[in-house]
Amino acid sequence: MFLFYNKDMDTKQKEKEDKPLVVFEESIMYKINDKTVDEIIESKKAYLFKNKEEIFDGIIVKKNENEKNGEKINTVSANHILKNKDQLTLKGNVNLQRDDKLTVKTDYLEYNLKTKIAKSNTKFSALQDNKSFEGVGFYANGKTNYIEADKIHFKVKLKDTDEIK
């Protein structure tokens, strides 16, 4: 009885595995331009690969500044954040706080950095000013402020009576 084993094939498979170029633990990273800090990323663990980035228990604080609207701060946090080119995929305890006082909580969110489109197919709850709404699945365009959702339920505070309906 003979056993043949091809060692070269095993080596090639290990080489194909995606290994991180840099690993950060308990880190805070800053993206700085010539005037100020643009972005802060805090994480328990972060992996930087050749073509993607992975963040665990992360918070991203992004500052947008333009002459028309001044300085705006957006914050997002999640248990797992995957950045592949211009696409962010967030999973687990996703919390998005936009500069227009909109807060969205869900378990899954996809966001395109270029088009500024966010999508989710899971349950979500959102709060803006005195209005709250819940639903399943949404689409939000950050450029036009258009939001669309399925199976939505609103709660609005009435101005005259302070009653919530």
Tens-place pLDDT, residues 41-100: 999 999 999 999 999 999 999 887 665 666 778 899 999 999 999 999 999 999 988 877
102 compared with 32, residue with greater pLDDT: 32
Q: Using CA atoms, how far apart are residues 38 and 31, in angstroms rounded to an integer? A: 6
CB atoms within 10 A of CB 17: 6
Q: What is the mean pLDDT of residues 10-39?
A: 81
Residue-level pLDDT at 126: 86
N-to-C CA span, the chain: 79
Q: Using CA atoms, how far apart are residues 121 and 89, in angstroms rounded to an integer? A: 12
Mean pLDDT of the chain: 83
Q: What is the mean pLDDT of residues 119-139?
A: 87
Select from 100, 157, 90 the least CA-distant residue to 124: 90
Select from 60, 66, 104, 113 the least CA-distant residue to 85: 113
Residue-level pLDDT at 66: 60
Q: Is the pLDDT of residue 34 over 80?
A: yes
Residue-level pLDDT at 159: 66
Is residue 8 within a helix (H) or strand (E), and if so which, with residue range? helix 7-16
Q: Using CA atoms, how far apart are residues 85 and 69, in angstroms rounded to an integer? A: 28
Q: Is the pLDDT of residue 134 over 80?
A: yes
**Whole-Å CA distances, 49 to 58, 73, 75:** 17, 27, 23
115 compared with 131, residue with greater pLDDT: 115
Sign (positive/negative) of CA torsion 119, 123, 127, 130? positive
Burial of 41 (0-12, 13-18, 19+ CB in 10 A): buried
